[in-house]
Amino acid sequence: MSQRIISYNINGIRAGIKKGLLEWMKEEDFDIVCFQETKAQPEQIDTGAFETMGYHHYWHSAEKKGYSGVGTLSKREPDDVILGCGIEKYDREGRIIRTDFDDVTLLNCYFPSGTSGDERQGFKMEFLADFFRWIKELKAERPKLIIVGDYNIAHTEIDIHNPKGNKNNSGFLPEEREWMTKWFSSGFTDAYRHLNPEKVEYSWWSYRAGARKNNKGWRIDYQSVSNPLKDKLQKAGQLNEAVHSDHCPVFVEIAW
């Protein structure tokens, strides 16, 4: 059975709803929707609208109001739902939801950003190291993994509009890009790049200087699939026409 999964950093779900998010979702009718940066507590969201569309919904919000947070919506009810990764400093920020469907595990993730300064960049690098170790253990137990979300890193020069000008900026630092290379060498495939090896598309644009209109963007939203699922990939891409956020949704179609 083919599943159409989207991952969308919505940059505030309440703001997205005001910009027509619900109407767009009704039209598209995805099987699974993974939101990042919801910036809301569950009680602040009209979850009834998602239930009307046939979704089971699960939310992991940050302790700090109006910050971070992830939400996973699925037409099929998962066998198991786990909020967080068990590491308190990340779970306080509402960064990961795990949902299990038979022998497939889907992780909806919002990786930290380091753009606000050295302290958060250090936090981001700690997260990357801890996440890598955690996933290695999880993959030994659950080999069929799909890990979608905002990774906050552009991997290679084809994934960013101005690689030379951004080489010293968080999100395109050599150590972050090296982590991505290590990640995709550890039993995971970049679904989009695997199916679109030469295509130039982005998933995030600054609000400044008409970046989106001029397509001066970064591809920082990814769908990683573990090796047992690689041959099940059917399609992957960016849905650039959706404008509820400074990101666009990214999608993958996969048979499982």
Say if CB 185 and CB 229 are below 8 A apart. no
Say if CB 112 and CB 124 are below 8 A apart. yes
| Sign, Cα dihedral of 117, 247, 80, 225 | negative
Is residue 110 among the annotated active site residues?
yes
Q: Which residue of the set 110, 151, 202, 222 is catalytic?
A: 110
Q: Which residue of the set 58, 90, 150, 190 is catalytic?
A: 150
How many angstroms separate the Cα of 16 from the Cα of each of 40, 152, 252? Answer: 12, 20, 21
100-119 burial, b if ≥16 CB within 10 A, otherwise e? ebeebbbbbbbbbbbeeeee
3-state secondary structure of 241: coil
Six token digits for residue 85? 């990764």
How many angstroms separate the Cα of 206 from the Cα of each of 89, 140, 247? Answer: 28, 38, 9
Place of tokens 């595990």: 105
Is residue 150 among the annotated active site residues?
yes
CA distance 92 to 86: 10
CA distance 196 to 250: 13
Question: Do the strands 221-226 and 144-150 form a parallel or antiparallel pair, or are they unpaired?
Answer: antiparallel
Catalytic residue positions, numbered? 110, 150
